[in-house]
């Protein structure tokens, strides 16, 4: 039984009689076996989070920061082991798995730094005669215990984005990893178990989605942080309108190639970045490049470059160091992508490359002439599919970006500073990346979307704000 991974309840490793196998999507091999908490153990985790909320909020910045820094260090020390676990359970090529471990370590390091800076501000109130001698201290305090629901596509880093900000502000967190990829989160629990954080300040519950609804509606978890599909996210929001709910729901990210991005070097850079980041993680990233809006003056030069770069991407075993594109999370996901592409082609789209499936692996695919109402344009493909479309100038490109019901991030390839500032002012998205694809994300920056892409922000400091509320202390008779 020693090879069965425990779960973490109130900071302790526990097991149960119920075990689940986690399999690799590429070859079906068993990545690991974990125990599943029963109803009483889930209740113990939630009750402990509620009970410790005051004591955890009162812990020192030093204690929280040291615990977070410890996790960051341990992730770096165990990079190869953790990366191999990510690849085993998720099918992500080892190249990207190592990058994910590095990012998760950075998230915990940023959180440790922010925990030490978490001080509030002083406001002078003697701005009118009636408020002379008054000063305000404004600090932020945890809204309450957090339920963090994480997806499968970044099984370590997106758990880190739930856990690290919560611990940094002293908010207890109950983590529910994705059922198909819980092993990385359980290993993270092992590292947290090496710290001196208060019992009950964190638990990792690898439970099925059927348990999630009870956790979502539990009044002892007043904050819900969810990353995943639009349908589930909106259902959570509707079920608990009285709670503070943050949602990261993805999108159909666009890259705009403007007419001034016209040198051979410019186009080669754009084609390389577009091809890579339409297909990295198997296209299973919320900001994976899905739509490329190419100025018509550049169309004949850029399209062949993009196709060639896509066809050159190594596809195969996620364990191969050279592989860039591996399988999707399971064969059902690959079948869905295949169906959407076939529907687009049947409706008149031109298949420039790809369009084939082998089990859970779908070939990197490029489409043109796609009807505007096709799913591969309107919805989030979450697979290695790229749609190219010509546009007539910046106005047309920006209008096309904004016509989407999603609004997460957009990349704009331009050297024109005026166009860059226009993009920032006009594009209805949470982030604009100039000179690169929309897939760029630094883990300390605010990250999130508008419209159907969600509400709230990740990025350590932004998430810390989102998990807390302002409380004002007014001092009377104070001279500044």
Report the predicted TM-score, pTM, of the whole model to 2 decimal places: 0.96
DSSP, res 257:
E
Residue with tokens 């030093």: 62
Q: Delimit the domains of the chain by residue range.
A: 4-249+454-472, 254-442
Residues 92, 281: contact at Cβ < 8 Å?
yes
Would you state the pLDDT for residue 2? 55
Query: Closest Cα partner for 311 from 359, 354, 265, 358?
Result: 354
One fold for 4-249+454-472 and 254-442: no
* Cα(461)–Cα(109) distance, integer angstroms: 12
- pLDDT in single tens digits along all 480 residues of the chain: 358 999 999 999 999 999 999 999 999 999 999 999 999 999 999 999 999 999 999 999 999 999 999 999 999 999 999 999 999 999 999 999 999 999 999 999 999 999 999 999 999 999 999 999 999 999 999 999 999 999 999 999 999 999 999 999 999 999 999 999 999 999 999 999 999 999 999 999 999 999 999 999 999 999 999 999 999 999 999 999 999 999 999 999 999 999 999 999 999 999 999 999 999 999 999 999 999 999 999 999 999 999 999 999 999 999 999 999 999 999 999 999 999 999 999 999 999 999 999 999 999 999 999 999 999 999 999 999 999 999 999 999 999 999 999 999 999 999 999 999 999 999 999 999 999 999 999 999 999 999 999 999 999 999 999 999 999 999 999 887
State whether residue 12 is helix, strand or coil: strand
Residues 347, 371: contact at Cβ < 8 Å?
yes
Superfamily of domain 254-442: Aldehyde Dehydrogenase; Chain A, domain 2 (3.40.309.10)
- Supply the residues annotated as catalytic: 248, 286
Contacts 24+ apart (CB under 8 A), 235-240: 236/149, 237/455, 239/213, 240/216
Task: Tell me the C-alpha to C-alpha distance, in Å, between residue 46 and each of 242, 255, 364, 432.
Answer: 19, 43, 43, 38
CATH 3.40.605.10 fits 4-249+454-472, yes or no: yes
């Amino acid at each position: 039984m020693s090879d069965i991974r425990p779960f973490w309840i109130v900071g302790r490793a526990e097991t149960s009689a119920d075990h689940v196998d986690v399999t690799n999507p590429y070859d079906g091999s068993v990545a690991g076996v974990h125990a599943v908490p029963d109803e009483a153990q889930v209740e113990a985790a939630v009750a402990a989070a509620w009970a410790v909320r005051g004591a955890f909020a009162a812990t020192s910045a030093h204690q929280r920061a040291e615990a977070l820094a410890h996790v960051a260090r341990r992730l770096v020390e165990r990079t190869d082991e953790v990366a191999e676990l990510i690849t085993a359970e998720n099918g992500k090529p080892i190249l990207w798995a190592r990058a994910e471990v590095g990012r998760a370590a950075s998230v915990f390091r940023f959180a440790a730094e922010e925990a030490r800076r978490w001080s509030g501000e002083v406001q002078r109130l003697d701005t009118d005669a009636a408020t002379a001698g008054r000063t305000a201290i404004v600090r932020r305090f945890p809204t309450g215990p957090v339920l963090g629901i994480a997806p499968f596509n970044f099984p370590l880093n997106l758990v880190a984005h739930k856990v690290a900000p919560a611990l940094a502000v002293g908010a207890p967190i109950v983590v529910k990893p994705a059922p198909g990829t819980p092993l990385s989160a359980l290993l993270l629990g092992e590292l947290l178990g090496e710290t001196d954080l208060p019992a009950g300040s964190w638990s990792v519950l690898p439970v099925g989605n059927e348990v999630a609804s009870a956790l979502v509606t539990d009044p002892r978890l007043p904050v819900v942080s969810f990353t995943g599909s639009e349908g589930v996210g909106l259902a959570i929001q509707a079920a608990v309108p009285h709670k503070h709910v943050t949602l990261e729901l993805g999108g159909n990210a666009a890259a705009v190639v403007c007419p001034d991005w016209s040198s051979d070097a410019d186009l080669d850079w754009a084609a390389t970045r577009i091809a890579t980041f339409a297909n990295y993680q198997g296209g299973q990233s919320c900001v994976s490049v899905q739509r490329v809006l190419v100025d018509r003056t550049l169309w004949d030069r850029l399209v062949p470059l993009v196709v060639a770069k896509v066809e050159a991407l190594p596809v195969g075993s996620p364990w191969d160091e050279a592989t860039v594109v591996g399988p999707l999370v399971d064969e059902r996901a690959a079948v869905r992508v295949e169906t959407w592409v076939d529907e687009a082609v049947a409706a008149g789209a031109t298949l420039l490359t790809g369009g084939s499936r082998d089990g859970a692996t779908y070939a990197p695919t490029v489409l043109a002439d796609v009807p505007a109402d096709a799913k591969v344009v309107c919805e989030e493909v979450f697979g290695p599919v790229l749609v190219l479309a010509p546009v007539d100038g910046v106005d047309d490109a920006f209008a096309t970006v904004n016509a989407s019901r999603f609004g997460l991030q957009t990349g704009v390839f331009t050297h024109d500073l005026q166009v860059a500032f226009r993009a920032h002012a006009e594009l209805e998205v949470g982030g604009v990346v100039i000179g690169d694809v929309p897939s760029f994300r630094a883990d300390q920056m605010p990250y999130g979307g508008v419209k159907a892409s969600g509400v709230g922000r990740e990025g350590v400091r932004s998430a810390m704000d989102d998990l807390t509320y302002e409380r004002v202390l007014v001092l009377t008779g104070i001279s500044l």
